[in-house]
Structure 1
Amino acid sequence: MLTIDIPGRGVLEVRQVVCDYNGTIAADGRLVDGTVERVRRLAEFAQVSVLTADTFGTVRAQCEGLPVNVRVFDRDDASACKASIVCELGAAGCVCIGNGFNDIAMFGEAALSIAVIGGEGACAKLLTCADVVVTSPLDAFDLLLNPNRLRATLRG
């Protein structure tokens, strides 16, 4: 577990890190350079899950050997599937990382949400639901790996 005390907001006990795949931690079906190392480090403190409809059919091969739980679901109900998985994992201890419209519902459930504006862009409506907005999945992971960055951004 990763414990982060955010002045003025309380203690966040991170047990789960849930990541959208395409557009968030992957571009065109391939993990963004630097993701593997950070996921390995995060997995020392929390369970990492990758949620996707797997548009490119690459998630299992790309995540092979990584300490992650890959969950592939039907494209038609992605938003509800993601939110349901976050609740199942324990939303109070969950950090969600995403970029798309279908991430809005899981952001609403999670204790902390981080929107990524990468090469694929990000859904404008998602940005209004996020606790933090970054320009790279690496920045999202680094906020958790270097909690003082997160404290500085979110302090009350």
Structure 2
Amino acid sequence: MFTINIPGFGKIEADHLVLDYNGTLAQDGQLLDGVKERLQHLSEDIKIHVITADTFGSVKKALNGLPLSIVSIPPGNQGQAKKEYVESLRKEKVIAMGNGRNDVAMLQTARIGIAIMMKEGTSSQALMQADITSSHICDALDLLLHPLRLTATLRD
């Protein structure tokens, strides 16, 4: 479990990290440098879920061997599917990261939503619903590896 008490934001006790794949962990279907190592380290404290329509058909190969769950969702109504998945994990126990319009409800529903803004871009709605915006997935994952960074950003 990932636990931190942030003044003015409250206590976070997260059991799950839910991640979008393309545009968040990967670019053009290819896992970004530095992600694998961070996910491996984070998996010691929190259950990791990658939820994706797998646009490029590469997610299973890219994440092979990592201690995480891959959740495939069909095209169409992906935003609702991602939201329902977060709710099924007990939304107050979830930290979510994503960049697309189909991530908006997931980011809004999770205890902490982090919008990732990399080369693929970020939906303006995702930016508005997130608690935090990060310019790179490695920086966002590092927020969990160095939790006082979350305090610095989210405290009242």
Instruction: Tell whether the structures are fold-level matches, with TM greater than 0.5.
Output: yes
Displacement of 1:124: 1.0
Counterparts in 2 of 1:59-70, with a 5 A limit? Answer: 59-70=59-70
Aligned to 1:81: 81
Counterpart residue type for residue 148 of structure 2: N
CA deviation string 1:59-82 (max 9, x = no partner): 011111001100011011211110
Unaligned runs of 5+ in 1: none
Aligned to 2:22: 22
Whole-angstrom distance in 1 between the partners of 2:39 and 2:33: 11
Unaligned runs of 5+ in 2: none
Displacement of 1:27: 0.4
Displacement of 1:5: 0.9
Aligned to 1:123: 123
Identity rate, percent: 42
Aligned to 1:34: 34
Structure 1 length normalisation: TM-score? 0.98
Whole-angstrom distance in 1 between the partners of 2:23 and 2:72: 15
SS in structure 2 at match of 1:65: coil
Whole-angstrom distance in 2 between the partners of 1:103 and 1:66: 23
SS in structure 2 at match of 1:67: coil
Aligned to 2:141: 141
Aligned to 2:114: 114
Instruction: Establish whether residue 100 from structure 1 lines up as the match of residue 96 from structure 2.
Output: no
Whole-angstrom distance in 1 between the partners of 2:49 and 2:124: 24
Whole-angstrom distance in 2 between the partners of 1:108 and 1:67: 26
Aligned to 1:7: 7
Quote the RMSD (CA, aligned, Å): 0.6
Whole-angstrom distance in 1 between the partners of 2:38 and 2:112: 18
Instruction: Establish whether residue 45 from structure 1 lines up as the match of residue 45 from structure 2.
Output: yes
Aligned length: 156
CA deviation string 1:84-139 (max 9, x = no partner): 11011111110000000000111121000000001101001110101000100001
Counterpart residue type for residue 7 of structure 2: P
SS in structure 2 at match of 1:66: coil
Whole-angstrom distance in 1 between the partners of 2:139 and 2:9: 21
